[in-house]
């Protein structure tokens, strides 16, 4: 018979991670492990307060389906047992890992991919004074893409300072819902002049209908507005691309279906993450194959990563080893 455990882990960050909603100094994650004889599958998830989640709540959600999981529930059954979110993500990714180990193949083979290629990730620069953001950009100017958190009055000065510090790097700005529509319309032409390639989630989710019909000079990307396929039609009317995260979708199973439907609608794909360890990034590597943007820099923000972790050289992430996941 299977066994199931859910453990809380806390991983300190190199420095405070600051966005428009607040700051954090550690990554608090929930790791689910499903064991079946000598084989075990693991999945890592990050409860997110913006979506009403807590560490305790996610662990409690996992406990509500313990009986079904140990009795043999598979990934398809899990989709109906829990709603999208961190709890389902931890269990779904653990089931993928376990299934791959039982079959003696890699998880990407189960997902229909012949191989898994390395991907280049964005690197995130936290919200802060323009001079601090410029210094961080200067230290990371050789990375292919920098993602800047914005949401303060001097946003334009910060982006201009970063552009001067990293003139050859592609830039994404992420407002995390902090702008009004008028602020977006004012900032977007200026950001275009600074060669910003993408603006992520400018308006608050649920209040972004104003974007329908708006021709932004910088393409817009949905993040908080998109969790699963249920929100996809609305996002397709408002955004040029979507940020798919396993914790929002509730696991790799839904995320793969979401990515396929988004691509069919002509939307660009960003594959994102919460701040977490390599165990959370590993299944997202399958999603990131062929995506326009991979934003899987969580381990780079930690004081230390789990062992074994993903091999990351600069911004290039290698496929996970079987000892890590999948």
Check if 14 is active-site: no
| 45 within 8 A of 87, measured Cβ to Cβ | yes
Give the torsion sign (CA, 120, 16, 153, 53). positive
Residue-wise burial string across 126-144, b where 16 or more C-beta atoms lie within 10 A, e elsewhere: bbbebeebbbbbeebeebe
User: What is the spatial distance between Cα 182 and Cα 225, in angstroms, rounded to a whole number?
Assistant: 19
User: What is the spatial distance between Cα 125 and Cα 108, in angstroms, rounded to a whole number?
Assistant: 30
Check if 248 is active-site: no
Closest CA to 203 of 175, 230, 228, 231: 175
User: What is the spatial distance between Cα 11 and Cα 313, in angstroms, rounded to a whole number?
Assistant: 21
> Which among 101, 120, 147, 149 is annotated as catalytic?
149
> Which among 101, 120, 168, 245 is annotated as catalytic?
245
Peptide bond into 308 cis (omega under 30): yes
- Known catalytic residues? 149, 245
């Amino acid at each position: 018979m299977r066994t199931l455990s859910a453990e809380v882990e806390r991983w300190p960050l190199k420095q405070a991670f600051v966005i428009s909603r607040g700051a954090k100094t550690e990554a608090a994650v929930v790791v689910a492990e499903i064991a079946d004889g000598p084989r075990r599958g693991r999945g890592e998830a990050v409860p997110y307060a913006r979506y009403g989640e807590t560490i305790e709540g996610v662990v409690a959600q996992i406990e509500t389906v313990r009986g079904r999981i140990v009795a043999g529930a598979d990934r398809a059954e899990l989709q109906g047992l829990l709603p999208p979110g961190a709890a389902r993500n931890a269990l779904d990714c653990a089931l993928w890992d376990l299934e791959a180990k039982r079959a003696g193949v890699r998880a990407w083979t189960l997902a229909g991919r012949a191989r898994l290629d390395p991907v280049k990730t964005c690197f995130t620069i936290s919200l802060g004074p323009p001079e601090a953001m410029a210094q961080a950009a200067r230290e990371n100017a050789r990375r292919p893409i920098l993602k800047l958190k914005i949401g303060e009055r001097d946003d334009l000065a910060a982006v201009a300072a970063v552009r001067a510090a990293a003139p050859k790097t592609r830039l994404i700005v992420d407002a995390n819902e902090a702008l009004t529509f008028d602020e977006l319309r004012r900032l977007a032409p200026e950001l275009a002049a600074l060669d910003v390639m993408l603006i992520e989630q400018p308006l608050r989710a649920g209040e972004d209908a104003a974007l329908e019909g708006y021709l932004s000079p910088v393409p817009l990307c949905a993040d908080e507005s998109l969790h699963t396929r249920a929100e996809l039609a609305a996002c397709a009317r408002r955004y040029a691309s979507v940020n798919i995260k396993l914790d929002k979708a509730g696991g790799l199973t839904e995320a793969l279906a979401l990515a396929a439907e988004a691509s069919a609608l002509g939307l660009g794909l960003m594959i994102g993450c919460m701040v977490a360890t390599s165990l959370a990034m590993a299944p997202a590597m399958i999603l990131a194959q062929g995506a326009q943007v991979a934003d899987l820099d969580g381990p780079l923000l930690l004081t230390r990563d789990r062992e074994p972790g993903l091999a990351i050289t600069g911004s290039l992430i290698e496929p996970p080893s079987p000892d890590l996941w999948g």
